[in-house]
Structure 1
Amino acid sequence: MSPSASPSVPPSASAPVPPSPTATGKGCTPEVLLTAADTGRTVCLTVGGRIRLTLHGSEDRPWSPVTATGGALKAANAGFGSRPGDTLAAFEAVAPGTARLTASRPLCAKRPGQTSCLGIEQWTVTVRVTKP
């Protein structure tokens, strides 16, 4: 087998898929944890619930602060610090409706004396808030 080839893993031996932070069989959830991998998703949260998110970046590709549109979410204290380039945020669901969370970061690192691109990586999650 070549060094770049990986052994074949039967589907039954693959790691379990973690549950989605969206609605469960009984409705929306009271707590959602998000990461950069959740971009493009829609999640469902009950009024009074909370969203916490961590976007891992780096000093030369830092995430912007997360913003929320609409009146369904209110920013809350994330409760802890982060490394340079990371963004931590928390939001409380205060009213039924739909909100959109967004953040961005440079697509390419900016380093003195090196060519850089002007691309932007966008992170977006839609949050649907319902009554419990």
Structure 2
Amino acid sequence: MRRTTLQRTTVTAAAAATLLLAGCGAEHDGTGPGRDGDGSPSASGPRSAPEPVPGCADHAELTTADSGQTLCLRAGGQVRLTLDGTEDRPWTPVKSTGTALRSTNAGIVILPGDAVAAFDAVTPGTARLTSTRPLCPTGPGRTGCKGTQQWTVTVKVARP
């Protein structure tokens, strides 16, 4: 049976995506605390703490609908995801490439076929999260197919 209710994570993911996209168009002119108009350090010297990277979040919640997206996460942040599957079309455990993310405790999976995962952003870099599931239902007495649905999200981790 397929779930059709709107989940809180979907709303959270949509809000996070909106905030992320709002920061993507921002330009930095090199001015600001510790900088002159030409981008060089001012007489008062550079700031002691680096500025956060515009458009990067501290936390992100992803769902099946986020496949193909790229997001920016600050080091020290966390990304959590829930892929809604079914018992006869289950998602594989989510894998991460690279060293920018480290798997952490995601909690428990409530329904068979779902994939739930969480990753801490540990160092600047890029990671790719992936999972797959069969296109056709599997099980006894069913005609299967070899097709798979792939879910992938690219996570760019920036300095805090």
Same-fold status (TM-score > 0.5): yes
More strand by share: 1
Q: Which runs of 5+ in 2 are unaligned?
A: 1-13, 24-53
Preserved contact between residue 62 and residue 106 of structure 1 (Cα < 8 Å): yes
| Closer, same or farther: CA 77–84 of 1 in aligned 2, 3 Å | same
The residue aligned with 1:107 is 135
Aligned with 2:87 (options 43, 52, 59)? 59
Which segment drifts farther, 74-83 or 21-30?
21-30
The residue aligned with 1:44 is 72
Preserved contact between residue 95 and residue 129 of structure 1 (Cα < 8 Å): yes
The CA distance in 1 between the partners of 2:139 and 2:108, in whole Å, is: 29
Preserved contact between residue 23 and residue 43 of structure 1 (Cα < 8 Å): no
Partner SS for 1:114: coil
Q: Which runs of 5+ in 1 are unaligned?
A: 1-17
Q: So what's the TM-score if we normalise by structure 2?
A: 0.68
Q: Which stretches of structure 1, 4 residues or longer, exceed 3 Å deviation after superposition?
A: 21-24
Preserved contact between residue 124 and residue 158 of structure 2 (Cα < 8 Å): yes
TM-aligned CA deviation for residue 113 of structure 1: 2.0
Preserved contact between residue 23 and residue 44 of structure 1 (Cα < 8 Å): no
Q: So what's the TM-score if we normalise by structure 1?
A: 0.82
Preserved contact between residue 83 and residue 116 of structure 2 (Cα < 8 Å): yes
The CA distance in 1 between the partners of 2:139 and 2:101, in whole Å, is: 37
Partner SS for 2:92: coil
Alignment of 1:1-132 (within 5 A): 18-19=14-15, 20=17, 22=20, 25=23, 26-132=54-160
Question: Larger radius of gyration, structure 1 or 2?
Answer: 2
TM-aligned CA deviation for residue 24 of structure 1: 5.0
More helix by share: 2
One-letter identity of the residue aligned with 1:40: G
The CA distance in 1 between the partners of 2:84 and 2:156, in whole Å, is: 24
Partner SS for 1:37: helix
Identity %: 56
Structure with the larger RCO, 1 or 2 (CA within 8 Å, 6+ apart) = 1
Preserved contact between residue 109 and residue 115 of structure 2 (Cα < 8 Å): no
